[in-house]
Amino acid sequence: MAKPLVALLTGAGVSTDSGIPDYRGPNGLWRRDPEAEKLVTYEYYMGDAEIRRRSWRMRWEAGALGAEPNSAHRAVAELERSGVPVRVITQNVDGLHQLAGMPARKVLELHGTAREFVCTACHVRGPMDEALARVEAGEADPPCVRCGGILKPATVMFGERLDPVVLGEAAAIAKGCQVFVAAGSSLQVQPAAGLTGVAAEHGARLIVVNAEPTPYDDLADEVVRDPIGTALPALLRGLAAG
Ligand code: ZN
């Protein structure tokens, strides 16, 4: 018999142990600081060179690309290696699931990735390290080397639409999985909330792992409040054992 498909929806709480704060959640850093929020809001970013210069400087200083996967990321990759079909749908842009060993094709990044830049004019992409090296070398707002257009991180900024292809794939996984684990997400914003509802409606066993209550706790078959760094590995070992 085929092993059940396990879908994991992961939010900021999964990367907290890697030293990455919650930036964009309902109580995230950006939401609490209007000036910081401008740096990641498409309209301001595109319309104001000073915002772009501050935005690049912030990314260069943050050094989030140096963050390492933690026990939760490693546990997800281990579950996949054990032979259980696993798909990750993540709200995070840090690329840590892949760095922990999850095959990139099995990770859907709802909000894009901070590990790449993209040109807003010709849509060419490249490694973020390359753009940050140019910032370090003195280009405060590095333009696209191909067309001169404005570069931005390949993340979904406030005011930008989520990629409909990624969203469609995420919905298909939510419908088709047998187990849906929502970890480290408040499940208060779309599309995370909707995907959780879709999974439950289609009969998946719903497991919520989050420090704080979520709107989906009542619908869940299991709710885990323990710290993710220990709770998620324990839970996934259980799933691997069947
Ligand atoms: Zn370009």
**Average pLDDT in the 31-36 region?**
78
pLDDT-based confidence at 1, cuts 50/70/90? low
Has residue 205 got a pLDDT over 70? yes
Active site residue 111: yes
73, 111, 123, 202: which is the annotated catalytic residue?
Answer: 111
Contacts of 45 (CB under 8 A, 6+ apart): 38, 39, 51, 52, 55, 152, 157
For residues 187 and 30, give the distance between their C-alpha atoms in angstroms, rounded to a whole number.
18
What is the 131 CA–ligand 1 centroid distance (Å)?
Answer: 13
- Residue 23's pLDDT is 74
All domains in the chain, ordered by first residue: 1-20+70-111+161-242 (3.40.50.1220), 28-66+114-155 (3.30.1600.10)
What is the 98 CA–ligand 1 centroid distance (Å)?
Answer: 27
Name the 3-class secondary structure at 6: strand
Helix (H) / strand (E) containing 126: strand 125-127
Has residue 28 got a pLDDT over 80? no
Read off the pTM.
0.93
What is the 122 CA–ligand 1 centroid distance (Å)?
Answer: 4
Q: Measure the CA angle with vertex 99, ends 94 and 101; round to 5°.
A: 135
**Average pLDDT in the 166-187 region?**
97
What is the 157 CA–ligand 1 centroid distance (Å)?
Answer: 18
Give per-residue pLDDT as tens, 75-106: 999 999 999 999 999 999 999 999 999 999 99
What is the 60 CA–ligand 1 centroid distance (Å)?
Answer: 21
For residues 154 and 125, give the distance between their C-alpha atoms in angstroms, rounded to a whole number.
8
